[in-house]
């Protein structure tokens, strides 16, 4: 066993994901955290530690967001940490929660992720300009979308992938989101709609991209003994992995996310998974852009390099396929409140494994799921393997 | 699943003041230090030259230059000029400015692998004089177009842009 | 061999820039109601947690101690007590103020929390001083903390 204690998720909760929510970030954190506690059947006094995840302070426009959000995350007079690894935060936060409990230090940990991107004007993209090197890159006029476009182009070039095949991911995820009550951009669209949408930074078009959002998500973690006391349906965290690649992003070949593979291998080793496509029943790879789902399926070793578009075309990744992928609707359908979106993916695996996903429930008897997020300068992978 | 029915509001209601808000504009200004390696790099750009640092252990010629090799985790130990020609590693045709406003004429941005640097070493820059943007391709050879010496300030923009080399 | 070092700091280069961003903050569910009560009814409200028997000022959506949602709102009146204060002589940009301004944390009897605001109509201030809120005329109120113009010594 890894760590001193086996760790389970015993509750999960999310807010709506919307372009603008009236709630403050604190209030959003509370709504998600309270909902997760109610599902777990626990009170705040049962929580021994709290981990908060939130992306750059520049979105909310509140400096030292961790401290700002603490009371809404239920951290009053408790051991509290905020973690942040860019877009990878949403899956990294429960990993940080895992080591709180697995270490034997705490029996329980409340894990909360929040993002309120609507505060930033004229557009949250602008808050990203300062992630680029101020001397070598910003004078060129960098926009955040460019780096995705550069990566997508390289991926398409390397494997000779058509935009039509990539667009299928957007079509699938937005349709899956029709069955998700929290979703911001659920829709029945076609490949043609994607290909005819506004060119933002070629090859990235409007419908290749997930929207910016406000939202929060939370899970309650418990050690094995506590988990078995409070629920008959614990979902076990059986694998954790995280990895960062070089910050000299222009040195790397962007066609493949090595760092996701590194994080996935770490998590699979811990979970004893030797043949990921065979042993994993569903996946929630990070999909802020449609090509990213494909990119990450490959990094997660769910298929060979360059093979993800084929699986998508053949329907393997649909909810009734052999490897349901983003059954939640993903970021493309539900919206992308960065850290909250990543944790929402963990919540979705939790509901799917417990058979509580309602209209989104995948058929069969799913026992093992993987969620993954990705961030910083296209360099961070965080991976979690959950089992019933 | 369980979710909380949060209170969604419309952007226009915020803009029209139907939803009360507080507004704030941070006044933060910065002077970013270029550091040891990039200070020299910028000085060389002023002279119309591109300089890299080298690592004697792994043999990499690194551009943009850095004072340490992040792979060997030892100090870089030499300077070496690289060429102002290279190959487009990947590119994007952007209709977006930095603030997400829309551009009428797109700009082409690329990662360029410079000749003389180690494989895969790239810098980000603009591509111009390409004709139709649909003609820009990965693998295309490009060359730096420098600003006139009197207009150079020791900045990455001393290279005005890269242009395709027609063969 | 290692790279030559820059020994003269003037040879090190800088790049001057700024972070451009504008922010528009919603007041939140509790905040919007709090400020609307001031704007429309001229009332300063608190939110009471019945479980912990704590009244929070400003009101919150939830009790941070027990995590119950707060449903009971109470009018706390306009009178409070200076809990602590400072006298500012420079503004946020470091410029000298025309006249010193008193800023205080004002607490309200039987409540948890307090309001940071200006104290005016007085030359003296001390910890424990009783003060009361002076609201702007109702047509100038915007659902903002500045709908309270300042606090003055209580009669």
What structural domains does chain A harbor?
7-121+211-387 (3.40.47.10)
Average of per-residue pLDDT across A122-140: 82
**How many domains are contained in chain B?**
1
The pLDDT-based confidence of C9 (bands split at 50, 70, 90) is low
Q: Give strand pairing partners of C87.
A: C102
Question: Among all residues of chain C, which has the CA nearest to that of A61?
Answer: C23
Q: Which residues contact A231 (CB under 8 A, 6 or more apart)?
A: A8, A10, A40, A41
Instruction: Give the C-alpha separation, A144 to A219, whole Å.
Output: 30
3-state secondary structure of C146: helix
**DSSP per residue over A25-79, as a string?**
HHHHHHHHHHHHHHHHT--GGG---EEEE---HHHHT-SSHHHHHTTTTT-TTS-
Going by DSSP bridges, is the β-strand pair C96-107/B85-96 parallel, antiparallel, or unpaired? unpaired
Return the CA Rg of chain B.
22
DSSP label at B134?
Answer: G
Which pLDDT does position A335 carry in this prediction?
A: 97
Looking at chain C, the number of H-run helices and the number of E-run strands are: 1, 11
**pLDDT digit string, tens, across residues A311-344:** 999 999 999 999 999 999 999 999 999 999 999 9
Q: Examine residue B152 and state whether it is found in any structural domain, yes or no.
A: yes
**pLDDT digit string, tens, across residues A51-105:** 999 988 888 888 899 999 999 999 999 999 999 999 999 999 999 999 999 999 9
Which residues does chain C have within 8 Å of residue B79's beta carbon, measured at their own beta carbons? 3
Output b/e per residue, B110-127; b: 16+ Cβ within 10 A: bbbbbebbbeebbbbbbb
Instruction: Give the C-alpha separation, B140 to B86, whole Å.
Output: 8
Average of per-residue pLDDT across A260-284: 98
Which residues does chain C have within 8 Å of residue A118's beta carbon, measured at their own beta carbons? 24, 26
Instruction: Give the C-alpha separation, B121 to B50, whole Å.
Output: 13
In Å, how far are A165, A386, B128, C24 from A321, measured between CA atoms?
17, 20, 46, 44
Q: Touching check for B42 and chain A: CB below 8 Å?
A: yes
Cβ atoms < 10 Å from Cβ of A224: 16
The residue to which tokens 């349906």 are assigned: A233
Instruction: Give the C-alpha separation, B75 to C3, whole Å.
Output: 8
The pLDDT-based confidence of C1 (bands split at 50, 70, 90) is very low
Interface test with A, best of C54, C65, C67, C70 (most A CBs within 10 A): C67
Are the beta carbons of B30 and A134 separated by less than 8 Å?
Answer: yes
Of the candidates A362, A381, A251, the one whose C-alpha atom is nearest the C-alpha of residue A317 is A362
Are the beta carbons of A23 and B124 separated by less than 8 Å?
Answer: no
Task: Judge whether A283 and A328 are in contact, CB under 8 Å.
Answer: no
Choose the weakest-confidence range: A61-65, A291-295, A343-347, C129-133. Answer: A61-65
Are the beta carbons of A121 and C23 separated by less than 8 Å?
Answer: yes
- Cα-Cα-Cα-Cα dihedral sign, residues C118, C123, C129, C134: negative
Prior bond of A8 cis (ω within 30°): no
**DSSP per residue over B52-94, as a string?**
EEE-TTT--EESS--SEETTTTEE--EEEEE-SEEEEEEEEEE
Give me the domain span that covers residue B39.
35-164
Q: Touching check for A22 and chain C: CB below 8 Å?
A: yes
Q: Say whether pLDDT at C78 is over 70.
A: yes
Are the beta carbons of C6 and B36 separated by less than 8 Å?
Answer: yes
The residue to which tokens 């417990």 are assigned: A354
Which pLDDT does position A160 carry in this prediction?
A: 97
The residue to which tokens 């990744």 are assigned: A317
Prior bond of C56 cis (ω within 30°): no
Are the beta carbons of A16 and B24 separated by less than 8 Å?
Answer: no
Q: Touching check for B9 and chain C: CB below 8 Å?
A: yes
Half-sphere exposure of C34 (CA within 13 A, CB side): 22
Prior bond of A219 cis (ω within 30°): no
Q: Examine residue B114 and state whether it is found in any structural domain, yes or no.
A: yes
Task: Judge whether A259 and A381 are in contact, CB under 8 Å.
Answer: yes
3-state secondary structure of A322: coil
Which chains would you list as touching A if contact means 3+ CB atom pairs under 8 Å? B, C
Per-run averaged pLDDT (10 residues), chain B, 167 residues: 96 92 86 89 95 96 95 95 97 87 92 96 96 94 98 95 90
3-state secondary structure of A91: helix
Q: Touching check for B27 and chain C: CB below 8 Å?
A: yes
Half-sphere exposure of A192 (CA within 13 A, CB side): 0
Backbone angles phi, psi at B87, to 5 degrees: -130, 140
Interface test with C, best of A58, A71, A108 (most C CBs within 10 A): A71
Cβ atoms < 10 Å from Cβ of C42: 14
Domain layout of chain C by residue ranges: 26-153
Task: Judge whether A31 and A18 are in contact, CB under 8 Å.
Answer: no
Which residues does chain A have within 8 Å of residue B98's beta carbon, measured at their own beta carbons? 125-126, 129, 141-143
Are the beta carbons of C17 and A138 separated by less than 8 Å?
Answer: yes
Which of C2, C24, C144 is opposite residue B75, by nearest beta carbon? Answer: C2
Which residues does chain C have within 8 Å of residue B20's beta carbon, measured at their own beta carbons? 27, 32, 35-36, 142-144
Instruction: Give the C-alpha separation, C129 to C152, whole Å.
Output: 10
CATH classification number, C26-153, choose in 3.40.50.1820, 2.40.33.10, 3.30.950.10, 2.40.50.140: 2.40.50.140
Q: Say whether pLDDT at C6 is over 70.
A: no
Which of B7, B22, B36 is opposite residue C25, by nearest beta carbon? Answer: B22
Helices (H), chain A: 25-40, 57-60, 65-69, 89-102, 124-127, 144-159, 163-176, 191-196, 224-230, 258-271, 276-279, 290-299, 308-313, 330-334, 338-354
Which chains would you list as touching C if contact means 3+ CB atom pairs under 8 Å? A, B
Instruction: Give the C-alpha separation, B28 to C151, whole Å.
Output: 31
Which residues does chain B have within 8 Å of residue C12's beta carbon, measured at their own beta carbons? 33-36, 39
Are the beta carbons of C67 and A74 separated by less than 8 Å?
Answer: yes
Choose the weakest-confidence range: A87-101, A221-235, A244-258. Answer: A244-258
DSSP label at A310?
Answer: H
Are the beta carbons of A150 and B111 separated by less than 8 Å?
Answer: yes
Are the beta carbons of A61 and C21 separated by less than 8 Å?
Answer: yes
Instruction: Give the C-alpha separation, A194 to A164, whole Å.
Output: 8
Choose the weakest-confidence range: A185-189, A210-214, A373-377, B144-148. Answer: A373-377
Q: Touching check for A143 and chain C: CB below 8 Å?
A: no
Task: Judge whether B65 and B41 are in contact, CB under 8 Å.
Answer: yes
Question: Among all residues of chain C, which has the CA nearest to that of B10?
Answer: C26
In Å, how far are A118, C37, C38, C70, C106 from C30, measured between CA atoms?
18, 11, 13, 9, 20
Of the candidates B100, C117, C37, C108, the one whose C-alpha atom is nearest the C-alpha of residue A127 is B100
Which residues does chain C have within 8 Å of residue B29's beta carbon, measured at their own beta carbons? 16-18
Mean per-residue pLDDT over chain A, rounded: 96
How many residues are recorded in chain A?
Answer: 388
Interface test with A, best of C20, C21, C65 (most A CBs within 10 A): C21
Average of per-residue pLDDT across A236-255: 94
In Å, how far are A75, A88, A100 from A230, measured between CA atoms?
21, 30, 19
Which pLDDT does position A127 carry in this prediction?
A: 75
Instruction: Give the C-alpha separation, A381 to A128, whole Å.
Output: 19
Instruction: Give the C-alpha separation, C39 to C56, whole Å.
Output: 19
Task: Return the H-helix or E-strand segment holding C30.
Answer: helix C29-36
Choose the weakest-confidence range: A183-187, B24-28, B89-93, C93-97. Answer: B24-28
Going by DSSP bridges, is the β-strand pair A108-116/A214-223 parallel, antiparallel, or unpaired? antiparallel
Instruction: Give the C-alpha separation, B144 to B164, whole Å.
Output: 9
In Å, how far are A14, A254, B69, B121 from A243, measured between CA atoms?
27, 16, 19, 22
Instruction: Give the C-alpha separation, B110 to A151, whole Å.
Output: 11
3-state secondary structure of A312: helix
Backbone angles phi, psi at B139, to 5 degrees: 95, -10
Which pLDDT does position A257 carry in this prediction?
A: 97
Are the beta carbons of B20 and C144 separated by less than 8 Å?
Answer: yes
Instruction: Give the C-alpha separation, C107 to C113, whole Å.
Output: 7
The pLDDT-based confidence of A131 (bands split at 50, 70, 90) is confident
Going by DSSP bridges, is the β-strand pair B141-146/C14-18 parallel, antiparallel, or unpaired? unpaired
3-state secondary structure of A345: helix
Which chains would you list as touching B if contact means 3+ CB atom pairs under 8 Å? A, C
């Amino acid at each position: 066993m890894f760590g001193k204690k086996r760790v389970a998720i015993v509750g999960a909760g999310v807010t709506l994901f919307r372009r603008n929510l009236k709630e403050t970030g604190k209030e959003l954190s509370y709504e998600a955290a309270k909902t997760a506690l109610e599902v777990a059947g626990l009170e705040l006094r049962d929580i021994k530690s709290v981990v908060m995840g939130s992306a750059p302070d520049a979105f909310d426009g509140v400096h030292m967001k961790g401290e700002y959000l603490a009371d809404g995350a239920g951290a009053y007079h408790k051991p509290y940490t905020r973690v942040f690894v860019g877009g990878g935060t949403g899956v990294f936060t429960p990993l940080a929660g895992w080591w709180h409990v697995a270490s034997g230090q705490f029996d329980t940990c409340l894990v909360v992720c929040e993002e309120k991107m609507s505060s930033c004007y004229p557009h949250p993209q602008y808050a990203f300009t300062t992630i680029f090197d101020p001397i070598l890159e910003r004078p060129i006029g960098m926009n955040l979308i460019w780096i995705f476009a550069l990566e997508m182009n390289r991926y398409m070039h390397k494997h000779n992938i058509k935009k039509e095949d990539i667009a299928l991911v957007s079509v699938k995820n937005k349709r899956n989101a029709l069955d998700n009550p929290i979703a911001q951009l659920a829709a029945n669209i076609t490949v043609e709609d994607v290909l005819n949408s506004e060119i933002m930074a070629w090859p990235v078009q409007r419908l290749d991209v997930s929207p910016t959002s406000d939202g929060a998500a939370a899970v309650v973690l418990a050690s094995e003994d506590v988990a078995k006391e409070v629920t008959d349906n614990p979902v076990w965290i059986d694998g954790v992995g995280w990895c960062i690649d070089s910050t000299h992003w222009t040195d790397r070949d962007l066609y493949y996310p090595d760092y996701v593979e590194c994080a996935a291998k770490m998590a699979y080793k811990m979970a004893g998974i030797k043949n990921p496509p065979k042993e994993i029943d569903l996946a929630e790879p990070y999909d802020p852009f449609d090509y990213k789902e494909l990119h990450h399926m490959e990094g997660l070793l769910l298929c060979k390099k360059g093979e993800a578009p084929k699986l998508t075309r053949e329907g393997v990744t649909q909810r009734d396929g052999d490897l349901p992928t983003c059954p939640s609707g993903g970021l493309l359908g539900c919206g992308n409140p960065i850290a909250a979106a990543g944790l929402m993916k963990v919540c979705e695996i939790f509901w799917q494994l417990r058979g509580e996903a309602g209209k989104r429930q995948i058929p069969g008897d799913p026992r093992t799921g993987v969620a993954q997020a990705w961030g910083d300068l296209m360099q961070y992978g965080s991976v979690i393997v959950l089992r019933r | 699943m369980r979710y909380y029915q949060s209170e969604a509001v419309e952007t226009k209601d915020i803009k029209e003041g139907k939803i009360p808000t507080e507004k704030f504009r941070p006044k933060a200004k910065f002077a970013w230090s270029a550091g040891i390696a990039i200070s020299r790099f910028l000085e060389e750009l002023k002279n119309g030259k591109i300089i890299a640092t080298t690592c004697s252990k792994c043999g990499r010629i690194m551009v943009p230059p850095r004072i340490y090799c992040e792979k060997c985790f030892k100090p870089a130990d030499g300077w070496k000029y690289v060429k102002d020609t290279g190959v487009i590693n990947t590119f994007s045709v952007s209709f977006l400015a930095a603030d997400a406003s829309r551009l009428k004429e797109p700009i082409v941005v690329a990662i360029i692998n410079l000749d003389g640097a180690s494989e895969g070493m790239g810098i980000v820059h603009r591509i111009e004089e390409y004709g139709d943007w649909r003609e820009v391709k990965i693998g295309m050879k490009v060359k730096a177009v420098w600003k006139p010496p009197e207009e150079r300030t020791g900045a990455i923009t001393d290279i005005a842009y890269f242009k395709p080399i027609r063969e | 061999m290692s790279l030559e070092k820059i020994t003269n700091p003037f040879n090190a280069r800088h790049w001057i820039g700024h972070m451009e961003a504008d922010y528009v903050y919603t007041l939140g569910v509790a905040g919007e109601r709090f400020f609307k009560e001031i704007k429309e009814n001229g009332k300063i409200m608190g939110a009471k947690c019945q479980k912990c028997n704590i009244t929070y000022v400003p009101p919150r959506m939830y009790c941070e101690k027990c995590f119950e949602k707060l449903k009971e709102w109470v009018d706390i009146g306009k009178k409070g007590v200076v809990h602590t204060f400072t006298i500012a002589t420079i503004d946020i940009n470091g410029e000298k103020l025309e006249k010193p301004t008193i800023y205080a944390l004002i607490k309200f009897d039987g409540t948890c929390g307090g309001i940071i605001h200006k104290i005016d109509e007085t030359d003296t201030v001390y910890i424990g001083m009783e003060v009361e809120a002076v609201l702007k005329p109702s047509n100038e109120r915007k659902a903002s903390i500045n709908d309270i113009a300042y606090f003055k010594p209580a009669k």
